[in-house]
Amino acid sequence: MVSDRAYLKSARQGAGLNAVRAEVGRLMAGFATNGAKTVEPAALLPADILIDLYGEDLRARAYTTHDPVLGEQMLRPDFTVPVAQMHMQSGAEAGRYAYAGSVWRRQQPGSSRPTEYLQCGFEAFGEADTARADAEVFALLAEALRDAPVQPATGDMGIVLAGIQALETSPPRKAALMRHLWRPERFKRLLERYASSPQPSKSRLALLKSATAGNLDSFLAEQGPAIGLRSLAEIKARAAILLEDSATPAIPAAQVALLERALTVSAPMEEAIKTLRAIAADMPALTPAIDLIEARATAMSGFGIDGFQLPFEASYGRTTLEYYNGFVFGFAAENRPDLPQIAQGGRYDALTTALGRSVPAVGGIIRPEALLSLNGDRP
């Protein structure tokens, strides 16, 4: 219905709309108290830049249109990237921002999930103390949700990122694992394949060798007419990559086992740190990430939170947007499986690097409509 909005009935007019606006005002006031400047990025944004930064999978979930002058445009799928762009363009090193507004996502046919919903968020750039900044943003959102029946969850993408770099394998294989990091099933299959390194068939190996030796034209002529749209140059380039991969040794089984073990860690933070340190005894590359997790848990105490008792999952956050590369967290509704995460966020230093400057960045969002629904305010 026209008067309905995400997770709420009759909330686009009258008392229902007033309740939503009041909730947004409450959240924004809390962010302002923590030094945030209010910003409002455009709702219609250049699609090519967003797809480069979010990942190609976004195209299937975003609303796009073509402008004859501006090119392909996209309705804002979330706020983090455009806010980061605004900060980077300002030239400032540090900055804190708050925002509120609609975002749009396409859903699968038959899905009951909304295509438009509100986000209120807080982003902090340039904070030198990573552990403290992570803890502060988590505490800020936890305080905003203080009276809501939600369950926190935390993780850290630094564990899997460090684990990939520790593997004894080629840079192209590491890059492929990184590309599929946010697709756990694809990542698992790829890791299993690299651990076994199956050899190509004799005919396929002959094709690859012919392509890289410069004999592709005659080889293809012997096979019959060409089928497909790839040029000979593209086939040669792909063949070189596949031939190099076929000669790459399998990743040692012990390393694969260590990484998989690290990714299954799920326990209160204190216990999780102990388990991860035991794994790091055989995979030392994990140690800096574990040190940061422990420092963050310690910093939580400065904001009245026992960080060592928070739930921790090493694989948490691996199905969200692809810009997180450190601390990740969320708050799920208790006994309300019909609702999405009420709040979520994390660290995305890699995103600012992709935008041209390496600036520390961390933030999070709250879904006001879902929060109102959870608290029983159903107008």
Report CA 183 to chain centroid distance, whole Å: 10
191 and 103 together in one domain? no
Q: Which helix (H) or strand (E) holds 359?
A: none
Domain boundary residue, one of 220, 246, 272:
246
20 lies in which domain range?
14-149+334-374
Rg (CA), the chain: 24
Angle ∠(313,317,319) on CA atoms, nearest 5: 130
Give 379's pLDDT tier (boundaries 50, 70, 90): very low
What are the residues facing 46 on neighbouring strands?
A: 73
Three-state DSSP class for residue 115: coil
113 and 206 together in one domain? no
pLDDT at 108: 83
For the cut 90, the answer to whether the pLDDT of residue 11 exceeds it is: yes
Q: Looking at the 3D structure of the chain, how many domains does it have?
A: 2
**Among 49-53, 154-158, 281-285, where is mean pLDDT lowest?**
49-53
For the cut 50, the answer to whether the pLDDT of residue 378 exceeds it is: no
- Cα–Cα distance for residue pair 73/49, rounded to 1 Å: 10
214 and 132 together in one domain? no
Which tens digits make up the pLDDT trace of 327-374?
999 999 998 888 999 999 999 999 999 888 999 999 999 999 999 999
pLDDT mean across residues, the chain: 87
Which tens digits make up the pLDDT trace of 106-137?
888 878 889 999 999 999 999 999 999 999 99
For the cut 70, the answer to whether the pLDDT of residue 286 exceeds it is: yes
Which of 29-38, 105-114, 246-255 is the most confident on average? 29-38
375 CB contacts (<8 Å, ≥6 apart)? 147, 148
88 and 34 together in one domain? yes
Residue 362: CB atoms within 10 A of its CB come to 24
Neighbouring C-alpha atoms within 13 Å toward the C-beta of 272: 29
How long is the chain?
379
Domain boundary residue, one of 227, 246, 265:
246
Domain boundary residue, one of 217, 246, 275:
246
Residue bearing the bigger pLDDT, 113 or 101: 101
Mean pLDDT (whole number) for 175-199: 86
**Among 47-51, 184-188, 252-256, where is mean pLDDT lowest?**
47-51
69 and 107 together in one domain? yes
Give 179's pLDDT tier (boundaries 50, 70, 90): confident
Q: How buried is 344 (Cβ within 10 angstroms: 0-12 exposed, 13-18 middle, 19+ buried)? A: buried
30 and 93 together in one domain? yes
For the cut 90, the answer to whether the pLDDT of residue 65 exceeds it is: no
pLDDT at 209: 56
List the CATH number of the domain containing 358: 3.30.930.10
Give phi and psi for 127, each to the nearest 5.
-75, 120
234 and 339 together in one domain? no
CA 289, 292, 298, 301 dihedral sign is negative
pLDDT at 112: 82
Classify strands 343-347 and 361-366 as parallel, antiparallel or unpaired.
antiparallel
pLDDT at 230: 65
- Cα–Cα distance for residue pair 66/272, rounded to 1 Å: 48
Contact (CB, 8 A) for 313 and 346: no
> DSSP letters along 63-85, please?
-EEEETTTEEEEE-S-SHHHHHH
141 and 25 together in one domain? yes
pLDDT at 61: 78
Residue 341 lies in a domain: yes
